[in-house]
Amino acid sequence: MRDDLQNPRIPLDELDVRLIRTGRQHPRAGMLELSRLIGVSRATVQARLERMEAAGVITGYGPEVDLIAAGYPVLAFVTLEIAQGGLDGVAAALAALPQVLEAYGTTGTGDVHCRIAATSNQDLQHILIDVNRIPEVVRSTSVIALSEVVPMRTLPLLEAAERRIPSRVPALRKPTDNGTGPNRETNEGPRSQSRVTTRPTAGGSVPTERSGSGSVSADW
C-alpha cells in the first residue's frame, strides 16, 4: 500500500518529457533509436531513463492491455465505507481479488475507492459479494461505467507545464522568430552577410572578403 502520493518527485525538464512521449509513440524502440528520434546521444537517453526509473517516474515498459478486448467488458467503480482502523485489512483483502484493478483511500463519505473489471454483470455481482464479505467493510456503493469518455493518460499533463530546456541539448531549443534572433548554437546575433571583391596589386587582383566588421584578405 502506497502512502507517498503527496511526496514531491524529481523535476522533469523538456528532454525528460520528450523522451517519455517518444517512448510511448515508439514503444519498441531501443535506446539507439530513441537517441536518433530525439536528436541526443545514446548515453544521454540511457542516463535520463535510469534517472527517471530510480525516482519512480517511469515504472515499467510492459504492454498496455485493452480489458474489453481481453474479455472484461464490464467496468465498475466501487466506494467502500470501512470500520475505523480497518484500512490495512481492507487493502490486503482487495489485493487478493484479481478483479480489483486499483484502489485508493479517499476523503469524503467513502473511505476506499476501487476500480473493478468483470466479464459480465453476473460476474460483477459475485465480485461485489466477495468485497462485502471483507470484515472491515461496513457498506459499499457501486456504479457501472457506460462508456469511456477520456481514456487513462499522463502525457498531456506532463506536456502542459512550462519546463526548463537543457542548455546542452541544442536539438530542444526553440527556433527564433524568422531566424533574426540569437544564434541557436552560440547565442550570438545573426551573422552579417559577406561579399567578395578584388583589390588591384602589382601581381594582379587579390580576392578580398568584406563583412560588416571590416575586410579580410582571402588566401585562395
Which is more confident, 211 or 118?
A: 118
Q: In this predicted model, what pLDDT tens digit does every residue of 102-161 receive, in sequence order?
A: 999 999 999 999 999 999 999 999 999 999 999 999 999 999 999 999 999 999 999 998
Q: Where in the chain do CATH 1.10.10.10 domains reside?
A: 14-64
- All three cell numbers of 10, joined, read 524529481
- The Cα–Cα gap between 174 and 57 comes to 25
> φ, ψ for residue 150 (rounded to 5)?
-130, 120
What is the per-residue pLDDT for 63? Answer: 87
Average pLDDT, the chain: 82
Which is more confident, 211 or 95?
A: 95
CATH architecture entry for 14-64: Orthogonal Bundle (1.10)
Angle formed at CA 6 by CA 3 and CA 7, multiple of 5 degrees: 90
Query: What pTM was estimated for this model as a whole?
Result: 0.68
Note the maximum CA span of the chain. 107
- The Cα–Cα gap between 34 and 16 comes to 12
What is the per-residue pLDDT for 10? Answer: 83
Q: In this predicted model, what pLDDT tens digit does every residue of 70-113 receive, in sequence order?
A: 999 999 999 999 999 999 999 999 999 999 999 999 999 999 99
Helix axis angle for 42-54 and 14-25, nearest 10°, is 100
- Region 24-51: mean pLDDT is 94
Q: Where in the chain do CATH 3.30.70.920 domains reside?
A: 74-144
Q: DSSP secondary-structure letter at 209?
A: E
Q: Decide: 124 and 118 in contact? Cβ < 8 Å.
A: yes
For the chain, helix (H) and strand (E) counts, in that order, are: 6, 7
- The Cα–Cα gap between 37 and 28 comes to 13
The total number of residues shown for the chain amounts to: 220
Which is more confident, 73 or 209?
A: 73
Helix axis angle for 42-54 and 31-38, nearest 10°, is 110
- All three cell numbers of 119, joined, read 466479464
What is the per-residue pLDDT for 220? Answer: 27
The CATH number of 74-144 is which of 3.20.20.70, 3.30.70.920, 3.40.50.300, 3.20.20.80? 3.30.70.920
